[in-house]
Structure 1
Amino acid sequence: MDIGTAILIIGFAALVAAFLLLVIGLVYSELMNSDIPRGVANRWKLHMVHGLFVGIAIVGRILHRLGVCHQISFLRRFVACFLTRLNPVPAGLRVKDMKFSDVPVRVYEPTTVCDGLRRGLVYFPGGGWVLGNIDSVDEVCRHIAKETNTTVVSVGYRLAPEHRYPAPLDDCEAATCHFLSVAEAEFSVDPRRVAVGGDSTGANLAAALCQRLARREIGHLLFPCAQVLIYPALQMADFNLPSYQQNHAVPILFRGRMAFYFLQYLNGDMSLCQDVLEGIHVPNELKPRYEEWLSPSNLPAGFLARGYDKHPTPEYNGQVYHAMKDGLEHEVSPLLAEDADIQKTPPTFILTCEYDVLRDEGYLYRKRLLDMEKDVTWHHVAGGFHGMINFFNQGWLGFPSAVQVLDCVVDYIKKL
């Protein structure tokens, strides 16, 4: 080996070592800034999963800054290759990929004998509007379809930042309306017993879709019979609710990360992130109404037990508001809809988790629905954290609490 080759090898090894040291240092820093309370179920496993996710996110961030690829594209590829396990289709279930009005969907049909027409569920995957897809909720949809004898349609809506609001919601509407129109003729499903649902931002899309359809009052199509909302994201007016304060550093959804997702969905301007977290985007004339709907006094006493400090009223900034004003509309923040829109919503299932920044808005949406005398079923997972069901039946990544969540969902759907 000549000296030139040796120098190249040593130089390359030094670069690799420097890169690894940088990643390790950043991972350590991120882990030190996270907080997994003792009440979280399977804390040790969540520590491991969080460390893995942080490492991958940091590598993606570095590659993004080097111009190699977008960090979100890197995360999507990693999750698809290493954190999504597609098992063989179980007996008693038929699974096929299709398109409804040009929107990719995956249909899960039970093959067992059914007296009459089946019920249906149109499911929207979560993932911050940037990561979720049909594969990421494959095990969840299989389980629901088989355990409830329900035809489930999982919707592969377009993702941000390539396709921002309202594209994902438009896709969900197109796929849902298509299914409702052909449910009986092509799938032996009763269109009067078709619910919509999702987890996290997928639940946001489900709630927003129900309000959109109710506003349009499309006479020739039936309305979803229920909405199934699993730890839903429902508002971007207040990032200082008790659950945001208590769980701001609890994996896998941090307070700042939720603002990041909303902004990716809306306009991609990450310079607004801190402004949104502070709340300076909310106009003064809307604050009294939002404070009434989002008041911590509407929460159970137990939700305040881990501490809460009232956030000072921020000074309104009109420039920030106009940059992301769609975020306060009901199609992005269903919790902030007018009473008339809330009144038209179908029966609702809401599941919240104690160690989740989105905990409070799920409960506050429940209260708004109850105030309108709507039918609401609420379940709260005391040891739960955001994103649990994404690990359902994923081998060593699985969490028992994810089974608890899906058991609640299955029980509710069986009654539709």
Structure 2
Amino acid sequence: MLSNPLIAAERKEERHHFMMKLLCGFTLLLAIAVAYYIYIPLPKTISEPWKLMVLDATFRGVVMMGDVAHSMGLSHRVRVINSAIVNFESLVPITNQEIQIEDILFDGVHVRVYQPPGQDGKLRRAVMFIHGGGWALGAPKLGSYDSLCRQMAADLDAVVVTVDYRMAPDVHFPVQYEECVQAAKHFLRPEVLTKYSVNPERVAVCGDSAGGNLAAAVAQRIGTDNTTTVKFKLQVLVYPVLQALDFNTASYQQNQNVPILYRRLMARFWLEYLGADLKLVHSLMINNHTAQDQSLMSLIRSKLDWTTLLPKRVIKHYKPVFPVTGSLSILKDIPALLDTRAAPLLAEDVVLRMAPRAYIMTGEHDVLRDDGMMYARRLELAGVSVTNEHYEDGFHGCVSFGFWPCYFSVGIRAVQNYIAWLAKHL
């Protein structure tokens, strides 16, 4: 018969083995759950899909945290998301530290001015940059946007002004637009350009995503403003969002579930920007606000008729989606959906003719691809010179991921290429 100490030892070893098996099983289940959460099917041609999956899983987690906090009344969802973004962007190291910065007000609007060191008496070119983030998110003085502005200042030997406009939920349209216009008009004043040694004939306006929307709208406003003697020479629009009347363009249909900008999220950004009820998300996504029974739409549909404005290679097999009947109240309750200050794609040809030469970047795997391509075509038809740089492996937000710690090859190429275009044409 075994002694008590031996029995105790055997039982202890059995318990140890059981606990190890339990731990291994739990670890396996956890790994499966994490993999299931992270993995989403992505197009084979998209840039570095596994890296994008991890990035997207992180962002989805933050968005869910924001929704939970909002539903519990702890904080507005946008503030939770933006707090996480600011914390992440603070990890990005400062590059091109020789660039001089100045935080100042332009007609009451917060801006940061980047200037290369040294001045040999010659006039420099300049870029006004407007950041994206759905008119609600973003840290223009931190991380990837700060690195981008520093790189533009260094590579172009240019003065770069980034606009730190107020965002939702604190303000809504048209505040973001008006602040960008105020900053632009102030910067384009001859005495201000002289102060920063800027050549008035070599100034560009640039923006990405919602910043591209604002940059396009500002370029239209400055182009038609008789009180502004200095005009922008160029506009650079990086995957811009330009309309909210059709959430079923070919690119919306093709990329509705492709990170990091899902169709539902873009609809939410629009409603937040316009100060509307987020419960209307589903109605927007199925185009209830632009149904065929709304006579008003027939007057403006040609301005966003992607079946004629887009090349067949991107239309593919997709068909327009416009319900026979819809919600007549949406356009009445949210008139800004038809406002060209919010939706520059809806501008009249006479306005487009006054717009500066354009560089428009689009990505194949982006719900906003067709917004940019339609605008490029409408500008061309209005007689404006346009370069549409399209990335077959591009996704929304890739320019912000051309810097550490989220390097994407397409982001690095996109930044290099559009700065090279500015270097050649500005």
Which structure has the bigger radius of gyration?
2
The 2-side partners of 1:347 and 1:47 are apart by 36
Instruction: Give the match for residue 302 of structure 1.
Output: 313
Instruction: Give the match for residue 213 of structure 2.
Output: 204
SS in 2 for 1:380: strand
Instruction: Give the match for residue 171 of structure 1.
Output: 179
- Structure 2 residue 360 is matched with structure 1 residue 350: yes
Pairing of 1:327-406 with structure 2 (within 5 A):
327-395=337-405, 397-406=406-415
Instruction: Confirm or deny: 8 A CA contact 1:234 1:335 kept in the other structure.
Output: yes
The 1-side partners of 2:319 and 2:204 are apart by 38
The ranges of structure 1 where at least 4 consecutive aligned residues each deviate by more than 4 angstroms after the TM superposition are 24-32, 112-115
Instruction: Give the match for residue 27 of structure 2.
Output: none
Instruction: Confirm or deny: 8 A CA contact 2:114 2:160 kept in the other structure.
Output: yes
1:128 to 126, 134, 157: 134
- Structure 2 residue 87 is matched with structure 1 residue 77: no
- Structure 2 residue 242 is matched with structure 1 residue 231: no
The 2-side partners of 1:236 and 1:28 are apart by 34
How many residue pairs were aligned?
390
The 1-side partners of 2:165 and 2:133 are apart by 12
Instruction: Give the match for residue 320 of structure 1.
Output: 330
Question: TM-score under structure 2 normalisation?
Answer: 0.86
Instruction: Confirm or deny: 8 A CA contact 1:92 1:112 kept in the other structure.
Output: no
SS in 1 for 2:325: coil
Aligned-residue RMSD, C-alpha: 2.2
The 1-side partners of 2:116 and 2:253 are apart by 43
| Deviation for aligned residue 1:29 | 8.3
CA offset digits 1:372-401 (Å, max 9, x no partner): 111111100110100012222122x12111
Instruction: Give the match for residue 110 of structure 2.
Output: 104
The 2-side partners of 1:269 and 1:60 are apart by 17
| Deviation for aligned residue 1:196 | 0.7
| Deviation for aligned residue 1:27 | 8.5
SS in 2 for 1:88: coil
Instruction: Give the match for residue 417 of structure 2.
Output: 408
SS in 2 for 1:384: strand
Q: Which runs of 5+ in 1 are unaligned?
A: 1-23
The 1-side partners of 2:226 and 2:34 are apart by 50
Aligned-residue sequence identity (percent) comes to: 32
The 2-side partners of 1:84 and 1:26 are apart by 30
SS in 2 for 1:286: helix
Question: TM-score under structure 1 normalisation?
Answer: 0.88
- Structure 2 residue 46 is matched with structure 1 residue 40: yes
CA offset digits 1:89-147 (Å, max 9, x no partner): 52542122222122111111111555620011110000000002312511111111111
Q: Residues 68 and 59 from structure 1, CA distance in 2 versus in 1: closer, same or farther, beyond 3 angstroms?
A: same
- Structure 2 residue 36 is matched with structure 1 residue 66: no
SS in 2 for 1:378: strand
Instruction: Confirm or deny: 8 A CA contact 1:93 1:110 kept in the other structure.
Output: yes
CA offset digits 1:178-218 (Å, max 9, x no partner): 11124432111112211111000000001111222233322
